[in-house]
Structure 1
Amino acid sequence: MSAGQEPVRTKRVGLFGKLGAGNYGNDGSLEALLAHLRSHHPSVPVDCMAAGPTVVEERYGIPAVDLSWDRGGPRSGFRLLDRGLTALRVGMGLAIDAWRIACWTRQHSVAIVPGMGTFESTMQVRPWQTPWSLFALAMSARAFGTSLAVVSVGASNPPDPLTRILLGRALRLASHRSFRDEQSRAAASEMGVDTSHDVVLPDLAFALSTPPRSGRASGIVGVGVIAWYGAESERAGAGAINVRYRAALQDFLGRVVDSGRSVRLLVGDDIDVPVAMDMRDAVLAERPWLAADAIVFDPVSTLGEYMSQVVDLDAVVASRFHNVLCALMCGVPTIAVGYGDKHRMLMKRFGVSRFSHEIRSLDVDDLERSLDGLLAEGDRLSPQLLDLAAEQRQALVDRLSTVDDLISSARSRTMRPVAT
């Protein structure tokens, strides 16, 4: 640059979160918001700080850098030594990630957390993982004048005080907050966030296109399988929780195929795949007379592929939030075997609260009766579900203008190479 020449300045938007790491719902949220940005802000450069940067770059065509420095390491086999090395690695990771996140954030006019259950504690997440990353992002945004938007996020009030402090502080520092349901907004308020001006925005996945449903009976029920070990507060009993869940779902699978119906196993995250394969093999091994295609499992990678699998099923029974949501969006009669308030809120929004079950106290007899009732009502429910999904999609499109306003009003930043 010659003397006196002004640096090139432009607006740059960065997307931030556990993206590209195998969770189809998270990546679906990214896909939906990215499509909106390309449509409404085509001249604004977009990049990403993601848990799986290679996947993000290859699948969505935007530059991406790694969210976390710490990828774990080999174990020595000596318990005390391994604990010490883990503590050292985590401590170093906190400092290194804070610096890397700050370097990334200062390059952007706007940083966006696109949907997801980012502020929830329904799964096992340590304070120094996602909560710390979000806190570092929010502090960096405040320090460098970057506008931070958390868009249609899920939230819950975590029992762990440190996690609550980190998530609450990150939410308070955001320039824009919107939540995907009233329960999430209430949870943020419980964490000390003033949510009086915050809106409830339908989940970003509602912006995704859905394949047409034929309406013809297929004789196939979709059953979602999850690698379920309880929430962070249940970590001590995680093994027993997993054993109980798998035994109940395997029993249910057996009952469905014994009734003469076929099953398509469904997953919502790469970590669910081994669980689905184990359950399929176990049920078929107990019933050697069944054809191999009595239980079908074809893993997918995106919500679009998932919806193509479920759209013509007679019913879906699922646990992953976006497995439930996308089945409902496709007009498929759906049972939620949920693990948080978000499932109950979603089913209530679609008028099918009576088909909600709790994963921690799953009763197979009750679930079987619920499936029978759902199948009996399927023809009536499907048009209702499609109409409600269309309403939510339109509400999402209408209310995303608040994010557009934030991008339009954000100040330009000096162009710099994306940090690696």
Structure 2
Amino acid sequence: MTAGHEPVPTQRVGMFGKLGAGNYGNDGSLEALLAHLRSHHPAVPVDCMAAGPTVVEERYGIPAVDLSWDRGGSKSGSRLLDRGLTALRVGVGVGIDAWRIARWTRRHSVAIVPGMGTFESTMQVRPWQTPWSLFALAVSARVFGTSMAVVSVGASNPPDQLTRVLLGRALRLASHRSFRDDQSRTAASEMGVDTSHDVVLPDLAFALPTPPRPGRTSGTVGVGVIAWYGAESERAGADAINVRYRAALEDFVGRIVDAGRRVRLLVGDDIDVPIAMDLREAVLTGRPWLDVDAIVFDPVSTLGEYMSQVVELDAVVASRFHNVLCALMCGVPTIAVGYGAKHRVLMERFGVSRFSHEIRSLNVDDLDRSLDGLLAEGDRLSPQLLDVASDERQALVDRLSTVDDLISSARCRRRG
């Protein structure tokens, strides 16, 4: 070995995506797959290209670099000038990000997109954001001989043509594809991807440990809060969508406490926290006779901490996908107020599709009746939910061997 030079590892696995940015489901997916790699491939170095690299490094103990060069800028006060500066920043950013992603990718034998709704269009996302970064990753992987794996991802067929092209081509270039449900695999097929050899892999969160559920009632209902502004195609009416949703949620929480139950507010992303705080204040202000503990809110930052809160609840009503999933995993009777097909598919898998509601047409009277029915069935439902979660966990463990095979067979590369 030449003096002054460190030995270069022949194999390195990289995790890629909107990780460490405050979304508990995304980070839970990383946590689950990282635990698997450490158990099955302990000698293989792992690092990450993440939206929140500092959080990833501190929480998971792996090196991380920033996913995006563009962190936005301050407003000038001129709408026309702001638009021009934004366009310039985006134009420069996509080029810089493509170069940075390529530089990162070539250092790895395998680049993994770990779970998440990465290929979905259920939330607001611009083509030059996640879709572009995934496309850049896929092209870079093909150029440098890196194996790209998208593992147990969610997908939907986006209405925006450019987004659809970018996501579809990224999926087609991947060395390994697995989807977290059949509807995601179908959506990929609709984007022009040959999915005939792709597998359905249960959501990576099923691999996370769950706390035991106590055999007693608590008198508390969990209500999940989401910063809901509609999907990308609904951006023009985003503010009105948010106002309607927040009014309905305030009404619903008020009815729960008026019935003598306590409420624990739950979130699944850091951006939900201000919404939850405002909701709690609004309901308590309108009912000055209530004890402040009638509505509790203790923000968390991981799915494990979230599950420690929900496991003792009598029921959960939530919208964020992993809020719903992890409550079900813990055996907690759950209502999904969904914003995508993935919620319906998940609730069907657990045999509780009758407790599904649509966030866009949310009716508080219907939701209130649904909660009463759920609480009445709680004792019977909980064992059923735990059985399904156990089956999904085992299926995930069995099928993760496809990822192990990819890592084992990846061509060893040296950094140049």
The TM-score, its normalising length taken from structure 1, stands at 0.98
Residues paired across the two proteins, number: 415
Q: Over residues 167-213 of structure 1, what are the superposed CA-to-partner deviations in whole Å (9 max), with x where a residue is unaligned?
A: 00000000000000000000000000000000000000000000000
Residue identity in the other structure for 1:25 = G
Residue identity in the other structure for 2:370 = S
How far off is 1:79 after superposition? 1.1
| SS of 1:342 mapped into structure 2 | helix
Which residue of 2 is the match for residue 343 of structure 1? 343
Residue identity in the other structure for 2:179 = F
How far off is 1:10 after superposition? 1.3
Q: Distance in 1 between matches of 2:13 and 2:415?
A: 12
Q: Distance in 1 between matches of 2:156 and 2:415?
A: 37
Q: Do 1:18 and 1:52's aligned partners in 2 also have CA atoms closer than 8 Å?
A: yes
Query: Which aligned pairs between 1:183-202 and structure 2 lie closer than 5 A?
Result: 183-202=183-202
How far off is 1:285 after superposition? 0.4
Q: Distance in 2 between matches of 1:375 and 1:41?
A: 44
Q: Over residues 61-108 of structure 1, what are the superposed CA-to-partner deviations in whole Å (9 max), with x where a residue is unaligned?
A: 000000000000111111111111110000000000000000000000
Q: Distance in 2 between matches of 1:366 and 1:6?
A: 64
Q: Distance in 2 between matches of 1:34 and 1:58?
A: 14
Q: Distance in 2 between matches of 1:79 and 1:244?
A: 27
Q: Distance in 1 between matches of 2:385 and 2:90?
A: 45
How far off is 1:411 after superposition? 1.2
Question: What is the CA RMSD across the aligned residues, in angstroms?
Answer: 1.2
Residue identity in the other structure for 1:406 = L
| SS of 2:124 mapped into structure 1 | coil
Alignment partner of 1:136 is 2:140 = no
Residue identity in the other structure for 1:264 = R
Query: Which aligned pairs between 1:242-391 and structure 2 lie closer than 5 A?
Result: 242-391=242-391
How far off is 1:412 after superposition? 1.2
Q: Distance in 2 between matches of 1:388 and 1:214?
A: 18
Which residue of 1 is the match for residue 148 of structure 2? 148
Q: Over residues 203-234 of structure 1, what are the superposed CA-to-partner deviations in whole Å (9 max), with x where a residue is unaligned?
A: 00000000000120000000000000000000
Residue identity in the other structure for 2:336 = A
Structure 2, gaps ≥5 residues long: none
| SS of 1:47 mapped into structure 2 | strand
Structure 1, gaps ≥5 residues long: none
| SS of 1:312 mapped into structure 2 | coil
Q: Do 2:139 and 2:173's aligned partners in 1 also have CA atoms closer than 8 Å?
A: yes
Q: Distance in 2 between matches of 1:392 and 1:21?
A: 27
Q: Do 1:7 and 1:414's aligned partners in 2 also have CA atoms closer than 8 Å?
A: no
Query: Which aligned pairs between 1:29-108 and structure 2 lie closer than 5 A?
Result: 29-108=29-108
| SS of 2:49 mapped into structure 1 | strand
How far off is 1:9 after superposition? 4.6
How far off is 1:415 after superposition? 4.0
Query: Which aligned pairs between 1:92-241 and structure 2 lie closer than 5 A?
Result: 92-241=92-241
Residue identity in the other structure for 2:284 = L
Q: Distance in 1 between matches of 2:82 and 2:96?
A: 21
Q: Do 2:110 and 2:147's aligned partners in 1 also have CA atoms closer than 8 Å?
A: yes
Q: Percent identity?
A: 87
